[in-house]
Structure 1
Amino acid sequence: MTSPGRPAGTARTLLIVATVIVFAEALTCLVLAALGAIDLTRDRAGVGIGVALILAVYGVFQAWAVWRVTEGDYWARSPLVVTQIIQLIIAFNLADVPLWITGLVGASAVVTLVCLLAPPVTRALSPPDPV
């Protein structure tokens, strides 16, 4: 289920841009998970642990998927596109946060989507034709 090799040329450049952004998002999720786990109180221990686990799994999954897509695994692009669409929806629904945070979350999702869906990347990650 993998393509013949790593994408090259323009596709590689676009995937590196997407990788940097997604790794930053993944690191943010992991940091938020750690901070949530540290800040547990008796009143919200269950919720705090649950949210920390979800953020940790989400962050690790994003990092793994973007690593796989840079190695040429065409199937790994789909979950990354879905997570970026979710992030874009979250950006539009952020309340009580500074506008620059909303802009940063939304802009990172848009840039990543543009990189992942660009024609050179689509060609480079096309699944092999069945024989």
Structure 2
Amino acid sequence: MLLGLAEVATLASTRLAMGLTTAAFFAVYGVGLLLCAWQLARRESWARSPVVLAQLIQLGLAWSFRGDGTTWVAILLAVAGVVVIAGVLHPASLEALADRPAGDERV
């Protein structure tokens, strides 16, 4: 969502259509991830897949930033992506997001 706002802030009349569509894409993408994070906090298991996909995309993006003067960006993106994937796929998270957590003896 912040990338969408940053894109709007740097709009130029020579590339107005591209800037607006890019800003709209990043805004929708950010709002979608916020919705997924909110649903994960509410223990909705469907939100796990979009979050993992977004982090895999982020790892690919991190790979593209390696080298030159942007290696630090690559490291930050990669660490954040790996931490989120590890957290979402941790056994305790999987148990919390299960349709019927262990210990729930209701039939």
Is TM-score (shorter-chain normalized) higher than 0.5? Answer: yes
Do the aligned partners of residues 38 and 116 (structure 1) sit closer, same or farther apart at CA in structure 2, a change above 3 Å counting?
A: same
Which of structures 1 and 2 has the larger relative contact order (alpha carbons within 8 angstroms, sep 6+)? 1
**In 2, Cα distance between the equivalents of 1:127 and 1:82?**
21
Moved over 4 A (4+): none
1:57 to 19, 28, 41: 28
Deviations 1:47-87 (A, max 9, x none): 10111011111111111101101111111111111111111
1:1-131 to 2 correspondences below 5 Å: 30-94=1-65, 98-128=70-100
Cα contact 2:2–2:30 (8 A) shared by 1: no
Normalising by structure 1, what TM-score? 0.71
Question: Percent of counterpart pairs with the same letter?
Answer: 32
1:89 Cα deviation (Å)?
0.9
> Which stretches in structure 2 are left out of the alignment for 5+ residues?
101-106
Q: Which has the larger radius of gyration?
A: 2
Please give the root-mean-square deviation of Cα atoms over the aligned residues, in Å. 1.8
Aligned length: 101
**In 2, Cα distance between the equivalents of 1:92 and 1:116?**
21
**In 1, Cα distance between the equivalents of 2:61 and 2:97?**
28
Normalising by structure 2, what TM-score? 0.85
